[in-house]
Amino acid sequence: MSRLMLGRTLERICKAVLLLCLVHFLIMMILYFDVYSQRFDIFSRFNNGRGVNSSRGPHHYYYNFSRPNTTFASYLATADHLLPSTKPEANHTPPTPKPLPPCPEVPPGLVGRLLIEFSSQITLERVQRENPNVTEGGKYTPPDCRPKQKVAIIIPFRHRDNHLKYWLHYLHPVLRRQKIDYGIYIINQLGEDTFNRAKLLNVGYTEALKDAEYNCFIFSDIDLIPMDDRNLYHCYDQPRHFAIAMDKFGFRLPYAGYFGGVSGLSKKQFLKINGFPNEYWGWGGEDDDIYNRITLNGMKVSRPDVRIGRYRMIKHERDKHNEPNPQRFSKIQNTKNTMRKDGISSLMYRVVSVKKYPLYTNISVEIGKPPPRPLKG
């Protein structure tokens, strides 16, 4: 009896052990397939993310954080090569910018007649704020079109700082509306010897060409302001006289051969007349000599309509050491004989300094002294 009881007990123990083994086996199989499926899912996601021709769009990458001593930082350090490259291809070239159209013959932003007054106080700081697109040296290029000409504006100068502020205040906005590619050059005669306007203009032509490849030159007195922005500051087929109707002359041309105040010549036209005369010391005569040079070389002076070519002059007393030149009348009559030897080809001067300010370029020069006048008798 005792043996029978012992045998049944052993049978039950064996069945229990067998059942436990079976349960253990089932648990192990479940865990095995679960881990296997996770590993398979990880590798399939990585492979899909790395596929060159994958069409699923952006992928999210996964990492098994059950590995010992694993952190997200270490994953980033080891899995960077699995992420899509953000570097541009070696043969990628940026798109070619679309070329600008030519600037229109008549810019659309012109306003016509301008109100010009000299009672308000003007500072260079204010002018600079009003013209933020003007770059160092007083240069400007239209951002939305391609001008046909590059224009240097030459101003003979001495002791006219207040006039300069007004000129810059009015002219910078006008020139920008006219879509002119320009640079402004103030040619300052040093010393207190007799003033020589035409020689300073020759200096301005020469020095401007050292700074940029200009093909048009506008020569302007510092005290003349245009009253209409339709008076376009560029060069024409013939030498141009802009200031044809000044207020001091009752807004009329004083005489047919007048070429003073503001004028313009292309580089080719300027060289054809050998530039301007260097021997007109003091006030008057040089503009008539220039007119003679133009007509003697087979060219004609072009002018705007009298309603557009109106100018207002800043009133002032005549400068010291710029008294009327008593020899001007005899020199004008002799232009034909002197223009080949007196001009840009015979120009002599010395540059003392070149300073580029926000609104203009200042070139200070020494141009010598007038020759002694012959004694009367």
Query: Would residue 228 show up in a list of annotated catalytic residues for this protein?
Result: no
> Is 3 among the catalytic positions?
no
Q: Could you confirm whether 169 is annotated as catalytic?
A: no
Spatial distance between the Cα atoms of 225 and 116, rounded to a whole number of angstroms: 8
Residue 262, CA atoms < 13 Å, CB-side half-sphere? 29
Q: Which of 50, 59, 211, 283 is catalytic?
A: 283
Active site residue 159: no
Pure H helices in 303-351: 328-332, 335-338
Question: What are residue 153's DSSP bridge partners?
Answer: 184, 218
Give catalytic status of residue 213 as yes or no: no
Q: CB under 8 Å to 331, separation ≥6 — which residues? A: 277, 279, 280, 285, 289, 325, 338
| Catalytic, out of 181, 229, 279, 286 | 286
Residues 6+ positions from 330 with CB-CB distance below 8 Å: none
Distance of alpha carbon 79 from the chain centroid: 48
| Catalytic residue list contains 221 | yes
What's the CA gap between 258 and 67, in Å, rounded?
A: 97
Q: Which of 181, 221, 289, 342 is catalytic?
A: 221
How far is residue 194's CA from residue 281's CA, in Å, rounded to a whole number?
6
Q: Cite the beta strand spans of 281-368 per DSSP E.
A: 310-313, 350-356, 361-366
**From 223, 229, 279, 342, the catalytic residue:** 223
287 is catalytic: yes
The single residue of 287, 288, 289, 342 carrying the catalytic annotation is 287
The question of whether 223 is a catalytic residue gets the answer yes
Catalytic residue among 316, 319, 350, 366: 316
Q: Which residues are catalytic?
A: 221, 223, 283, 286-287, 313, 316, 318
